Amino acid sequence: MAAVSAPETAYYQAVEEYFVSQRGDPLFVSNADWVLIHEWRTEGVPLRVVLRGIADAFESHAHSWSRAKKVGSLAYCKSEVERARERWQRALALGEEEHLDPSTQLATLADAFRQAAARAASCAPLLAGIAAELRELATTPKAASLEARLQQRERELVAALVAAADPALLASHEAAIERDLAPYAQRMPANVLDQIRAESRTRRLFESFELPRLSLFAL
């Protein structure tokens, strides 16, 4: 399969390649497995957590009575990925998540949006308002509950940026997205492809306005 560099497909590609490598032969994942990967991504499960769960599942299988039988589906790993996610969420709730300092990250986001407000006149009030909100959140951050709030603000911002963007720019984004998805067009379910398109539109839109994503995990 040709390498695909788009961040939106990198998560899917990494999970597929790791699962295939653990299984030991070139079995590509099924439609149901693509949907499972999609669930992990949209629920915000970090890639490293998913890969840890897959590794744990194969380790357990290697010591099971059925070890002579090949693992046939990514769904076999689902329970171990869920356990890995629970461990990650506990660490997050206790403030023990490595490399995650919500106060610093929120302050960095606030500065970026303040600077963007000075550049983008059409969206300046909204961007300045988000910057002020981020500065306030940085004083009492709770990582476990912040992400949903940031995602809601990002959805509001996407609508404003689309309205302010040059239609020609948006059209160029669409063409680039379809090129990125070409290797997967016949392999992924339509609903998964549609979600990847939406994610790619958002990323490209934010890059055009020189904005970071509103997420603690995307910095």
Is the pTM above the cut of 0.95?
no
Mean pLDDT of 85-111: 78
* Region of poorest pLDDT, from 11-25, 50-64, 141-155, 199-213: 141-155
Q: What is the pLDDT of residues 142-193, one digit of tens each?
A: 655 677 888 888 999 999 999 989 999 999 999 999 999 998 888 899 999 9
Confidence tier at 2 by pLDDT (50, 70, 90): very low
> Measured between alpha carbons, how far is 139 from 103 in angstroms, rounded to an integer?
7
Q: Is the confidence at residue 37, as pLDDT, over 80?
A: yes
CA dist 15 and 130 (Å) reads 34
Q: What is the C-alpha to C-alpha distance for residues 128 and 190, in angstroms, rounded to an integer?
A: 37
Rounded distance between C-alpha atoms, residue 3 and residue 10, angstroms: 9
**Whole-number pLDDT of residue 219:** 41
Mean pLDDT of the chain: 85
Q: What does the pLDDT average to over 49-56?
A: 94
